[in-house]
Amino acid sequence: MSAQTSAILYAATVAAPSLSSARPEDELTKKKAHHKGKGFTNPWESWSPMGALQIARAMMARRLTGKANVPDTTPPTVPVRPPEFLNSRQGTDKLRATWLGHACYYVEFPSGLRVLFDPVFTDRCSPFSWLGPKRYTDAPCQIKDIPTIDAVVISHNHYDHLSHPTVTEIARLHPNCHFFAPLGNKKWFLDAGINNVTEMDWWDEVDFTLTPSPSTSKASPRPSITSTEDGRNPSSAGGNIITARISCLPSQHIANRGLFDRGATLWASWSVSSAPSTTTPSSVYFAGDTGYRAVPLSSDGQDDWSEQYADLPVCPAFADIGRLRGPFDLGLIPIGAYKPRFIMSPMHADPRDAVEIFKATGCKRALAMHWGTWVLTEEDVLEPPRKLRDALKLSGVQEVGVFDVCDIGESRQF
């Protein structure tokens, strides 16, 4: 797009799509299963978690007995570079993704759509500014450095994925940005003073449309977003209409912000597809935070993909996603925060799990995330990319150029 187009005001609509998208045949059964009583849960045999107190006791016992590994964060660790963003609505013929640390990616679509996934720009991922996991790699930029944010997509409400200071600053600097989150999270946004929010259940999807507004003003380049339910678009006045299909999809995880709200809100993976009117949509699958299979205590210190554990149940949701909503041009898939496996595997994928998720969802290419920023678990900070290369080789996937690791702040084009 031209610089003139980038200054045009855009109005946005969020509406249910006119066409019914494919869903699993047992969707209604699973929806009932994932929303039990007062909270959400995972409806699959692959979900076999420990309780919060069990996890705390097990982790403490490992520390006291010397079994726990304490990762060394002494620099150098993960390279960090200043990101280079396109100028506002500047066009590109390729999908462009920039890793901003941990699970945060900024994706620039050829259509002009700009989406930020799971942004956390605070120093600590914690309810406190003085306590909790502290960054061992710097944020590559600040929110003020990002030229355009049309939508923010949130996977769940854990502090390393949803940050109150971050989203409120985004809303202040980009007042027309629209936020998408799983069920139960809308109240949190409203309480934070953010009204541009849509909450969704697994397999729900909406059409998100940015339409040039008749009231163009160079002095006020950001649009005012309005949400509608009837799908009607404002009239166009110059510039290009930007359309996207945003889908809320399953993942295997859990959510809570405190000690007593476990499962009170939903967690999800997401897909976003968008295209200029004359070309095929570019599609992104964002896996959020997820496990793939639960491995037992007996596997501790062993290869939990050996023959002994080869038949453990895997989460079927990813095959459903690939079959019904794939393929995707790009997958953003977690590879870190996985040790000890008998504790973390139900909720966090390791690199071998990540490769299986990549294949099941039908991603053509992928970039790694959920590592390299905070010490959340016991694996060495540079172990995930090494294990990813091993996992790709074992799975018969090309080791370079298909499912890659990039520097923090680096952009890749697809």
In this predicted structure, the answer to whether residue 92 has a pLDDT above a threshold of 50 is yes
Helix (H) or strand (E) holding 163: none
10 annotated among ligand-binding-site residues = no
Which are the contacts of 256, defined by CB distance < 8 A and separation ≥ 6?
157, 158, 262, 263, 264, 265
What is the spatial distance between Cα 275 and Cα 242, in angstroms, rounded to a whole number?
Answer: 8
Which domains does the chain show, CATH number per domain? Answer: 3-16+74-413 (3.60.15.10)
Cβ-contact 256, 262 below 8 angstroms: yes
The mean pLDDT value for 360-375 works out to: 98
pLDDT of residue 2: 34
Residue 9 has pLDDT above 90, yes or no: no
Is 92 or 109 the better-scoring residue by pLDDT? 109
* CA–CA separation, 199 and 148 (whole Å): 22
Average pLDDT (75-98) is 90
Q: What average pLDDT score do residues 208-237 get?
A: 45
Q: Give the DSSP per-residue string, 85-129.
A: ---TT---SS-EEEE-STT-EEEE-TTS-EEEES---SSBSSSSS
pLDDT at 99: 98
Under the banding of pLDDT at 50, 70 and 90, the label for residue 232 is very low
Mean pLDDT score, 168-185: 96
pLDDT for the residue 3: 34
348 marked ligand binding residue: yes
pLDDT recorded at residue 233: 31
- pTM of structure: 0.91
Q: Is the peptide bond before 340 cis (omega within 30 degrees of 0)?
A: yes
237 falls in which pLDDT band (50, 70, 90)? very low
d(CA 164, CA 141): 18
Instruction: Tokens for 77, please give them.
Output: 């660790």
One-letter amino acid for residue 312 of the chain: L
Q: Residue 367: pLDDT band by 50, 70, 90 thresholds? A: very high
Residue 319 CA to chain centroid, in angstroms? 18
